[in-house]
Structure 1
Amino acid sequence: MLKEKGKLEATVFEIDAYIGLEIAMSIIPLTEIKELWSQKMFLGQPHFNKTMARNRFETIRARFQVHAPGSVPVLRREQDPLWHSRRSLAQVQQKFAAIAVPVGAMSLDEITVRTNARSGAKTYMASTPDKYGVRFYGVVNWDSLYDTRFGTTHPEIIREQYPRNATSTSSPRSAQLYLEV
């Protein structure tokens, strides 16, 4: 796709570097890409400059697709805001499901992750400090507080906040699933 726009094709090394930088960007709490490549004190990340030039990163990012162009029908793209990464998400969920098998009382949990991205999956929440976010839902095992769908462990503070009564299997969440194996 880069060649069509008069740009050099990305090499395997550049694609690997691009994916690594995207992962690193998700960990670093800066909101703009240019801040990561900044030379200013307390802003820039020197490893980003050493890995790839910002212009090259943005060129690859603008054209990077994890699906074949035209492989998804237009109707599905209009109805599903995550159509472009649905297959990747399904693979990640499959891997987590193979490791974590839910047993006992389960809760349906919802979390909203702050974002400034331009996406149809973004929701507006007027009552929160971070106004825009993407909602994720997960099935959580109450005993271990292990998120069986996304593979994350909740902090121990939740357990202290909602002590489990020995005679009750109630959950702090509104929806609860009981699964028997």
Structure 2
Amino acid sequence: MYMNVYLLFVSISHMTDTHSNTSTVTLIILGMASHSRTGPKSARKRKCFPDSVSYPSYSDIDSQAPKPLPFKPIHPFGIDLGSMRQAVQSTSNMMLREIYFFMLFFTQAVVADICSFTNRQGWELVLNCPSYSSYQGAWMEVTPDEFYRFLGLLIYIGFSILPDSHRHWGTKSLQGSWARGFMSHDRYKALLAALHVVDPTTDDNQDRLRKLHYLMDHLKQKCQQLFRPNQNLAIDERMVKSKARSGFKQYMKGKPTRWGFKLWVIATSDSGYTLVFNVYTGSHDGRVTDLATKVVESLLQPFKDQGHNVWFDNFYTSPALMVKLFEMGTNACGTCRVIVNCFLQNLKTSYDGNARQLVGI
């Protein structure tokens, strides 16, 4: 009785040639072996493989490597506040307060729209739950000034160590007196229940992010409008910690934040400023083939044909993605697991001895 055992070990070792003083990358492959349990060792079938295959090192001149695309940005690099500076300031010529920077993203126009959506939802809320209404039994409409105070309370409670939000309105600590100076606890709960950042009449039940699209699209637009990136960009995942009950909350083992919402993010390599982000809602429509390629193509749509250098890790790196990015007018470089990403995906491809093509750059 015979049994085939397939063994595949791939290792990379750096060897130094004393005569040429150059570094050589050696790819050693130990392959298939077939043997019999009962027969003698001399009768076992063996297949010989070459001991090693040498490739040029990264320090060697590569005459076949494509030339990098030139960097031709549409907008000059740097901060571009434009007319937003006058929109948040009335008397000062410098942005000296934190609220001015906050209002660059949460502008008065978008806050007015959110107030309109919340009031529309609030009138429907008091019909089903009268406890959220005013003393006259009607919905007390929220104004932009009150909504800014509400946002301030949300941010403050998020940094607080108290276990329950209602304790911020308690009478046994100074924190309760601070929160009551802005709004009552009942009003806070009413705004939290009626809060809507999208028009309630335009909800699409087929979209899992239907209640966030308006605000997300606005924030993406402001992120790209207020800061123009340099040539180097980075793509990676980001976890937003959350204990909410949601169907697309993710778990990532080994991360500092293991439970939360997973974001695909493209940011500047020098400052880490977020330019574009997308929320991963899970594979509810079935297993997505080539997810990494679709993620990168979606994030890079605003930066096509500008010659940016995009950097990412081995989750995204593949020869097919490198070709697509080059066709999109974007230079790319990524780390690579030789066994998983390169060897298995290019098993039927004959390498031409170019070590750069082995890692997809």
TM-score for both structures, normalised by structure 2: 0.37
The CA deviation string for residues 82-105 of structure 1, in whole angstroms up to 9 with x for no partner, is 320111111011011012223322
Structure 2 match to 1:120 = 247
Secondary structure at the counterpart of residue 244 of structure 2: coil
Greater Cα shift, 88-97 or 50-59? 50-59
Structure 2 match to 1:72 = 203
Alignment of 1:124-135 (within 5 A): 124-125=251-252, 127=254, 131-135=258-262
Structure 2 match to 1:3 = 126
Deviation at 1:33, TM superposition (A): 1.7
Structure 1 match to 2:192 = 61
Residue 183 of structure 2, aligned match among 33, 52, 69 = 52
Secondary structure at the counterpart of residue 264 of structure 2: strand
Given that 1:10 and 1:60 are in contact with CA atoms closer than 8 Å, whether structure 2 keeps it comes out as: no
State the identity %.
22
Structure 1 match to 2:263 = 136
The CA deviation string for residues 47-79 of structure 1, in whole angstroms up to 9 with x for no partner, is 212112223211221122122323112222xxx
Query: Given residue 179 of structure 2, which amino acid in structure 1 is its aligned partner?
Result: F
List runs of 5+ in structure 2 lacking aligned partners: 1-122, 278-308, 318-324, 332-361
Query: Could you tell me how far apart the structure 2 residues matched to 1:90 and 1:139 are?
Result: 15
Using a 3 Å threshold, how does the CA distance of structure 1 residues 170 and 123 change in structure 2: closer, same or farther? closer
Using a 3 Å threshold, how does the CA distance of structure 1 residues 105 and 92 change in structure 2: closer, same or farther? same
Greater Cα shift, 24-33 or 136-145? 24-33
Cα RMSD after superposing both structures = 3.3
Mapped pair 1:100 → 2:234: no
Greater Cα shift, 26-35 or 95-104? 26-35
Query: Could you tell me how far apart the structure 1 residues matched to 2:149 and 2:273 are?
Result: 31
Deviation at 1:14, TM superposition (A): 4.1
List runs of 5+ in structure 1 lacking aligned partners: 151-168
Structure 1 match to 2:156 = 24
Structure 1 match to 2:348 = none
Alignment of 1:27-38 (within 5 A): 27-28=159-160, 30=162, 32-38=164-170
Using a 3 Å threshold, how does the CA distance of structure 1 residues 72 and 172 change in structure 2: closer, same or farther? closer
TM-score for both structures, normalised by structure 1: 0.67
Query: Could you tell me how far apart the structure 2 residues matched to 1:130 and 1:106 are?
Result: 23
Given that 1:103 and 1:179 are in contact with CA atoms closer than 8 Å, whether structure 2 keeps it comes out as: no
Query: Could you tell me how far apart the structure 1 residues matched to 2:232 and 2:256 are?
Result: 32
Secondary structure at the counterpart of residue 137 of structure 1: strand
